[in-house]
Amino acid sequence: MKKNLYIGSTLAALLRSQDQAVHAVTRASLPGLLADRRPTGHVIDCIGLTGDFRTRPLDAAEAHVGLVARCLADLRFDSFLLLSSTRVYARAHTTHEDAVLAVVPADPSDLYNLTKLAGEALCLADTRATRVARLSNAYGGGMPAQTFLGQVLQEGHATGRVTFRQGANSAKDYVSLGAAIRLLPQIATRGRERIYNVAAGANTGHAAIARRLHDAAGWQCGFAPDAPTLVHPPIDTSRLRAEFGPADSDLLADLPALLTAAEDRHADH
């Protein structure tokens, strides 16, 4: 939950800084909003369960499917944008938004993708202005420790060492949170398509991250013996670029700033 809460709170802060009227809805306040049936304007659904979905499968289904169904049924909105994930491409041969997606229900790792895709299907079956943003791995100051990068930075600041639990040749796409929250309101209010990949469009490898952390912070970075190699498919961002421009992101260039932000938080604690 914390990753999406982080994205939602950061997005709300940006919109308020632009003098936009923002109603930040929590799980506690959502039932009242649904019961009121008042006009809600533009809705961006940031609710989600990430790192612990394997141990909380019913909560994952409720967050990704049940709450989406209730919002679509009861909210009177101008537009509805569901935040999904580029994880859904894990077994795909292509990462274009119209790709055929494969899942294995018996694989616990696919539970996240299955529930996200079910939520997407509900949105896409709705004939109103409903859209889906498949978000890549977002990074920025204040990342929760449940994320891969958040955990790496927390471990490094605590010990001066980082042990990666995925192989050196592992790689995935990372999108700047600043770029993502700039693009999401535009997609929500005027997107011409129904689904958008919000991603950098190029993978960054674990080995490169380890070298950058060593150079910038002096941390000793290593890889656990027999760590699995996980390479995410590069994300196709041609649709996003054609309509809204790129989600300009360079994790390696931004790592020193992330280190500073994480160090300040570590010192405060």
Per-residue pLDDT reduced to its tens digit, 226-255:
999 999 999 999 999 999 999 999 999 999
**Cβ atoms of 139 and 102 closer than 8 Å:** no
Sign of CA dihedral 104, 105, 110, 112: positive
Q: Which is more confidently placed, 12 or 197?
A: 197
∠ CA 161-176-157, nearest 5°, is 20
Give 1's pLDDT tier (boundaries 50, 70, 90): very low
Reference 195, options 118, 97, 119; nearest CA is: 97
Per-residue pLDDT band for 261 (boundaries 50, 70, 90) equals confident
Are 127 and 246 spatial neighbours (Cβ–Cβ below 8 Å)?
no
d(CA 24, CA 1): 15
Is there a contact between 44 and 81 (Cβ–Cβ < 8 Å)? Answer: yes
CATH of 2-268, one of 3.40.50.1820, 3.40.50.720, 2.60.120.1440, 1.10.3720.10: 3.40.50.720
